[in-house]
Structure 1
């Protein structure tokens, strides 16, 4: 850090002292700590280094190219597979689609060649990499599977077979880490239900869109009536497993109890039928000895009357699942806070590891979700964040800003692979001989290995240095150039250069199989 740059930690302390701190009353900070940890990784890295001359040269060329291409968030919607309001997606549908997409956006690389690797057939084409995931989701929705609705993930319809069908491959190679993806969907569904599900009133509204059967005990063959005990439980008790059947609505604490008899529902005591009349004696002496007893009420249930009092609509569309919307609203339009909320509640977003004796946070996919919302809604509505510039280069993203015509046959890989590769090609990153040999030999590096952490952390810090250099040379760019757009651009540039070279860049990307990117 140079003498003329502000100390981020000092700035945070000043914000706290002025009551504009990033720690609100609920205790969730808007400071992710990712940039600070990335700097720590860089300062202690021995196998990955950042060249200052290469950084300055890259900053100049990247800025000029971004100006020429007029990069903006609008390009996100130009991706032909991304959900759009014009495709009959509602805003809530888009939020849920993006959340599902980013829950599962990891590890698409394959050791097989282009023709044998995992591919998805959709709209007359075959899709690979990140695009294959989005194609699966679009195809599933069109086939009538609510795969992007969190409520579906915890239903009985969401079986392993159903998910295998949604994510089916057009080749012999299945989607990488499919078991992990299915487990993540179900884990996320449970967390959303527990922490962000609709309140009781909203859930009760859902009863109007779900048929709840009225079950009564069969009438007694002699009296054509039901006992008081059986009649009561025919309405108020649900048999084991029934409420858990597909389509049944549930309250947070258990099955919905359909209390179909209103307080004013009274019994017509004029309609009295003596039980077991045929079994009683007809001898006058016996009748005279009998003591008068109060008439037994007829508690048989009039299903038509109850149905009229509690009319159930079977034609209404399902109530929108707004659990993810509630998660977003809890962030108070803070990108950093939403990232931290994701990391706090969802283990699959808690992208943390240890490096050189210290815990470091990278939080790649959590930042991707926020960036996708920002880009999809063009910084408005659910995508409005007052601190979007606080996001770092979050290694691992699709080419949101790449022109559509360039994406047709490109192999899509997350930028935790591609950005380090591009930075190395630009002369920003340099590698130790042992690491360079490992990359060129195409051998896998385990998740959490020091090499992998150095590649990721130094890439984040290098992009931050590039951003700072651009802003220093072009102050007006401070409002337009952030780490999100730089990340997109570096991915695009890597793909364009690779396509122009007819294959991979000189140094292959690293290969790590994990859920983090």
Structure 2
């Protein structure tokens, strides 16, 4: 499938999705990422604090590719190896963001409190810069600090003035609006409607459409609104995953008591997943785009190249998901004595969210050399595309 028909850049291959459907997935528990292990425990913990931590993580853009990629002096945050650990390490990439928030909380800075981080008096810019101070070995500062501060102020101000400074109140309002049956997608839409800095959308021109008048038909340029919503979806997905039990539980999900319908979300279109999709042959790029990637050419946010890579990745992961559903349905059909699974239950059993989690971790392991793909033909690992953007 070609995403940009006027000038194809990225193609998602149907036959490759059949070869690379990932196995059964579990949520990866990183040491610095606080994850609630089951729904029973979730009902006993301080849920508002966990929500605010998730909101703080995802309010701040995850734009951490480095000009010093692969070097020890790239931007990083020194903190504990994980919660409860005495050893320390330098966290890089996304985990540097999480480590900075965790370190601030340990230092007694209430950075997950919207009434605190929205206030320039209580939380001046200099304090936020201190929270994101680099490790001694790093030669780079955190990118987009000014933009990150502005987003924290915006999100905190909206929560404070409209929702009593509580993400829990925000969630309660959502459930009231949907008579207690709000899903993950409902929450994503409310986040993008409420917080402009989560509204990851572009107007994309390039298709030709036929316009008819009373006297003639003629081709006309058409503008399409492309909604990618990466940070909004990952905020919702990680909040869902924090209460996602590894084993079957009869308790309702704390966020979505009528069911999350998590399968309605897409993958989170940023850097790493497109990179591994290309390595697996699920996406192909033309030579001109490969040259730009190999040379670390910057792609402006909203550019044809960037939107094509991100959009094609969403389509590709949806095809992987569809193939996994077909395999699961075939396995059920071949099993004698198995009870038929309902269509809704089948759809819910495989999500692009979990596929994204798996592929993101796989991409990091392959890039670092800790793992290699065997048994299938792969392409070179080309550098991830470089876009400095608040939307990632």
2:356 aligns to what? 487
Measured in 2, the distance between the counterparts of 1:337 and 1:119 equals 35
Task: Give the drift of 1:107.
Answer: 0.6
2:232 aligns to what? 366
| SS of alignment partner, residue 513 of structure 1 | coil
Structure 1 residues 415-436: Cα deviation after superposition (integer angstroms, max 9, x where no partner): x111111111111111122111
Are residues 1:46 and 2:3 paired?
no
1:388 aligns to what? 262
Measured in 1, the distance between the counterparts of 2:239 and 2:307 equals 27
Task: Give the drift of 1:505.
Answer: 5.3
| SS of alignment partner, residue 226 of structure 2 | strand
Task: Give the drift of 1:84.
Answer: 4.8
Structure 1 residues 251-272: Cα deviation after superposition (integer angstroms, max 9, x where no partner): xxxxxxxxxxxxxxxxxxxxxx
Task: Give the drift of 1:383.
Answer: 5.9
1:6 aligns to what? none
1:326 aligns to what? 169
| SS of alignment partner, residue 122 of structure 1 | strand
Measured in 2, the distance between the counterparts of 1:423 and 1:109 equals 18
1:56 aligns to what? 18
Structure 2 stretches of 5 or more lacking a match? 81-87, 176-181, 206-222, 246-252, 333-345, 373-378
Measured in 1, the distance between the counterparts of 2:96 and 2:186 equals 30
Measured in 2, the distance between the counterparts of 1:432 and 1:444 equals 17
CA contact (8 A) 1:447 1:512 kept: yes
- Please say which of residues 376-385 and 359-368 is displaced more in the overlay: 376-385
CA contact (8 A) 1:353 1:360 kept: yes
1:450 aligns to what? 304
Question: Alignment partner for residue 26 of structure 2, among 60, 72, 80?
Answer: 72
1:407 aligns to what? none
1:153 aligns to what? 117
1:510 aligns to what? 385
2:217 aligns to what? none
Question: Alignment partner for residue 185 of structure 2, among 325, 336, 345?
Answer: 336
Measured in 2, the distance between the counterparts of 1:45 and 1:418 equals 24
Task: Give the drift of 1:42.
Answer: 5.6
Task: Give the drift of 1:501.
Answer: 6.9
1:472 aligns to what? 326
What is the TM-score with the length of structure 1 in the denominator? 0.59
| SS of alignment partner, residue 381 of structure 1 | coil
Task: Give the drift of 1:119.
Answer: 0.9
Q: Which has the higher strand share?
A: 2
Task: Give the drift of 1:146.
Answer: 0.1
1:142 aligns to what? 106
Task: Give the drift of 1:496.
Answer: 2.4
Task: Give the drift of 1:45.
Answer: 5.7
Are residues 1:178 and 2:27 paired?
no
1:354 aligns to what? 203
Measured in 2, the distance between the counterparts of 1:373 and 1:451 equals 31
CA contact (8 A) 2:3 2:11 kept: no
Structure 1 residues 444-478: Cα deviation after superposition (integer angstroms, max 9, x where no partner): 11111001000000100111011111111212664
| SS of alignment partner, residue 446 of structure 1 | coil
Report how many aligned residue pairs link the two structures.
Answer: 324
Which runs of structure 2 are paired with 1:30-41 in the superposition (5 Å)? 41=3
Which runs of structure 2 are paired with 1:265-414 in the superposition (5 Å)? 321=165, 323-332=166-175, 333-356=182-205, 357-378=223-244, 380-382=253-255, 385-395=259-269
Are residues 1:187 and 2:154 paired?
yes
Task: Give the drift of 1:192.
Answer: 1.2
What is the TM-score with the length of structure 2 in the denominator? 0.77
Post-superposition, which runs of at least 4 consecutive aligned residues in structure 1 deviate over 4 A? 42-45, 84-89, 501-505
Structure 1 stretches of 5 or more lacking a match? 1-38, 198-320, 396-415
Task: Give the drift of 1:149.
Answer: 0.8
| CA root-mean-square deviation | 2.4
